[in-house]
Amino acid sequence: MAKLSRLITVALYPVCLPLLGQNVPTCTVNSDNIQPNCSGDTWLTGLTSCQHKTITCQPFNGVTFASIGITLGYKNPTGTPNGTIVFFSNSGGKTTDEPGSTSVVYAAYYNLPPFNYQVVQTSYDPDPGPDWEDTTGTNSPPDTKNVAYAAGRPAAFLAWVDTNPNLYVWAKNQKPEAGMCVQGDSAGGAAGIYSLAWYGEYSFIDKVELISSPPLSNINAGCSQNPTLGGSIPVCPTGQLGCNSFNNPSSWTQSPSYTDALTGVRRWTGDTTGDSNSCRPNNGGYTTGTADARWQAESIVDGTVGMFNYPNTRITAWVCSSVAAGGGPMNNSSPEAQLFFQQFTSPSQMPFGLLINGVSSCGNDEDITGGTPPQNYVGLGYTTGQAAVEYDMTADPANLCTSHH
């Protein structure tokens, strides 16, 4: 009941950040007069509501923010709700699409009986509006952009959902065990993890489902061309807390350097010139120490602000351990995720658990949907990555979306 009491108290005031006194920007979710559009086959049919909101953030540490619009469509279950699940999509979050499928596939599954979750799909406004990771939305100097500060936008949205009487409060009022949960794909998962690590939302988020994520764990590792940083890193090395013992292979090695994400990361960090201050410069030289330090400072694992003790939050991650023939090369998503996973060395940091699943034969570098999950899922009849994710979120007694607060 402690969580419900907190919700009722907070709901009397504007939903904003920062939380818990952390050194982060203040962002708010505001009503507007923009007509929402939840049409198309990537949105659920029969939505309970389709809305448009505008997220604004106050200037912070010399960084200014463009306002950003977000469309949300939510659907209530027909039975007693078991919780609320918010979806964040990949890249700039401007579509409900996810690699190999869309959030509509997962949302439809979670919403139907017997699972009965309230599901919330999201899509930020299309171009020329900014990506959620881009504070200014313009090609501004690097010192006016900061990905971690931009993460105040999705963090504010999650706080708004958590305290909204028609969203999570509605579910919690009907079932005290209802969970407040997030499913994020690629950069969408990074939005959820920034919300935990930088914005203190482990205080109310019960479960995060990560798909090929988080790829922004250490932006410096992905951007820098500095020989002292080393090259490829092992994912799920021996002794890593949370790695599924049924992963096949049990460990693999991959470079964290950005490839297909490079254009987006350059835009989000303001590094578009291709010189030694740019993410993975194309001039054949090394990046500057100034740029390296700036990328590190806006990473999830920044060394200062990021916090990695989540006493009431469960995390399940799904990362590609190999790609099927014809699916192209592996990318940075799994080693970048490993740079987040390695922050967890003791079960006491996450008593409800961290589970890291390697998916083999992915459709492409981040498409886990048709890949092969670890054998423990296959043995239960969940033979694809998508089916295993659905089981994990809704039915696995150790991992499903339920309240831990």
Q: What digits encode the pLDDT tens for the residues 194-248?
A: 999 999 999 999 999 999 999 999 999 999 988 777 689 999 999 999 999 999 9
- Give me the half-sphere count of Cα atoms (radius 13 Å) on the Cβ side of residue 403: 19
Record: fold of 2-257+296-394: Rossmann fold (3.40.50)
The phi, psi pair for 293, rounded to 5°, reads: -65, -40
Between 127 and 2, the higher pLDDT residue: 127
**Per-residue confidence at 138, pLDDT binned at 50, 70, 90?**
low
Interatomic CA distance for residues 139 and 159, integer angstroms: 29
Residue spans per domain, the chain: 2-257+296-394
**Per-residue confidence at 282, pLDDT binned at 50, 70, 90?**
confident
Residues 375, 378, 383, 389: is their CA dihedral positive or negative? Answer: negative
Return the minimum-mean-pLDDT range out of 10-14, 27-31, 124-128, 385-389: 10-14
What integer pLDDT is reported at residue 141 of this predicted model? Answer: 63
Cis preceding-peptide flag for 214 (omega within 30 of 0): yes
DSSP conformational letter for 372: B
Interatomic CA distance for residues 256 and 259, integer angstroms: 9
Strand ranges (E), 194-331: 207-211, 233-235, 252-254, 314-320
**Per-residue confidence at 296, pLDDT binned at 50, 70, 90?**
very high
| 93: its two tokens | 């979050």
Whether residue 14 is predicted with pLDDT greater than 70 in this model: the reply is no
Interatomic CA distance for residues 9 and 12, integer angstroms: 6
The 3-state DSSP class for residue 358 equals strand
What integer pLDDT is reported at residue 168 of this predicted model? Answer: 98
How distant, in Å, are the alpha carbons of 118, 307, 364 from that of 206?
Answer: 15, 16, 30
Return the minimum-mean-pLDDT range out of 146-150, 274-278, 350-354: 274-278
Q: Which of 88, 60, 91, 32 is nearest to 366 (CA)?
A: 91
Interatomic CA distance for residues 263 and 131, integer angstroms: 12
Any bridge partners for residue 183, and if so which? 87, 209
Return the minimum-mean-pLDDT range out of 7-16, 87-96, 315-324: 7-16
| Contact indicator for 405, 2 with CB cutoff of 8 Å | yes
| Contact indicator for 101, 369 with CB cutoff of 8 Å | yes
Whether residue 341 is predicted with pLDDT greater than 70 in this model: the reply is yes
Averaged pLDDT for residues 237-265: 96
Residue 350 CA from chain centroid, whole number: 18
Q: pLDDT exceeding 90 applies to what percent of the chain? A: 82
Residues in the chain: 405
Whether residue 301 is predicted with pLDDT greater than 50 in this model: the reply is yes
Query: Tell me: the pLDDT tens digits for 32-90?
Result: 999 999 999 999 999 999 999 999 999 999 898 999 999 999 999 999 999 999 999 99
Any bridge partners for residue 181, and if so which? 85, 207
Residue located via tokens 């504070």: 135
pTM above threshold 0.75:
yes
Query: Tell me: the pLDDT tens digits for 79-120?
Result: 999 999 999 999 999 999 876 678 999 999 999 999 999 999
Whether residue 263 is predicted with pLDDT greater than 80 in this model: the reply is yes
Between 173 and 96, the higher pLDDT residue: 173
Rg from Cα positions in the chain: 20
Any bridge partners for residue 101, and if so which? 98
Interatomic CA distance for residues 265 and 294, integer angstroms: 13
Interatomic CA distance for residues 323 and 339, integer angstroms: 21
Q: pLDDT exceeding 70 applies to what percent of the chain? A: 91
